[in-house]
Homo-oligomer: A and B are copies of this chain.
């Protein structure tokens, strides 16, 4: 594989996810923190208007605007569509090299610790993920192979991935998560530096990861309103095994709703605030491994 020449770190793709916003502001002020000798690193704020208003988005979710066919349509008046084109021009400039790697910083109200979200199993990403997760026990790897269909910002690059940290409320900075995320970014940049310099010596045999299975919505009433809450026995237990028959939701009157699947699953994004409107209570995943 060719070398990595350009890396972009994006914060504030969602304007109320402050960890990424303030990390990118820090990197812009102190660029030596993200500079390495063998490649160029760019720190970029995503949805500028949403950041200014501390909202996820103004008119539409910025992180669903990067379908290639959408980006080629005539421009409308939606701010996020306009900003998506600007970001595309920055990351894929018409007259110079495109960015090789995109690291898109997100946070979640779910208790997901430090998660690297990959959109494919490109050997570079798989080895990076194996290296990082073996060296940093806080890191989990989640693979969600639906890049091209989703319009994620990171889908602009084959080697794009997200870092998702939580739990932290929207509009809140958590210092511990801030430091942990900064450390993780530093480890990733160091890995790329070593990769470019031919210094990677693979030591891991397997990558343990979580693979997207399906979305689960909240139980809802006839009007479409949620009719139950995440069960206390499931709350904050992202990446823990959920067994058939275990409690998943509880109605407002106290009736338990059970997981009726046939096999153990590993829920993530449990009780993410921004997903209520997307009709997502959690993602179910299965735990897998890839032999390297």
List chain A positions with a Cβ less than 8 A from chain B.
22, 25-26, 30, 54, 109, 167-176, 178-179, 225-226, 229-232, 235, 250, 252-254, 271, 273-274, 276-277
A235 pairs with B171, CB closer than 8 A: no
Residues of B within 8 Å of A25, CB to CB, are: 225, 252
Residues of B within 8 Å of A174, CB to CB, are: 229, 235, 271
Main secondary structure of the interface of A (DSSP, over half): loop
How far is it, in angstroms, between the C-alpha of A37 and the C-alpha of B179 when the chains are bound? 55
How far is it, in angstroms, between the C-alpha of A230 and the C-alpha of B18 when the chains are bound? 13
Closest partner residue, chain B, to A249 (CB atom) = B175
Residues of B within 8 Å of A54, CB to CB, are: 276-277
B169 pairs with A250, CB closer than 8 A: no
B271 pairs with A172, CB closer than 8 A: yes
- A275 to nearest B CB, angstroms? 10
Contact (A229, B178) CB under 8 Å given A169-B109, A170-B171, A253-B30: yes
How far is it, in angstroms, between the C-alpha of A54 and the C-alpha of B56 when the chains are bound? 12
B273 pairs with A170, CB closer than 8 A: yes
How far is it, in angstroms, between the C-alpha of A25 and the C-alpha of B226 when the chains are bound? 11
A175 pairs with B277, CB closer than 8 A: no
B173 pairs with A170, CB closer than 8 A: no
Contact (A171, B230) CB under 8 Å given A26-B252, A176-B235, A235-B176: no
How far is it, in angstroms, between the C-alpha of A231 and the C-alpha of B173 when the chains are bound? 10
Residues of B within 8 Å of A232, CB to CB, are: 175-176
Which of B30, B175, B226 is within 8 Å of A231, CB to CB?
B175
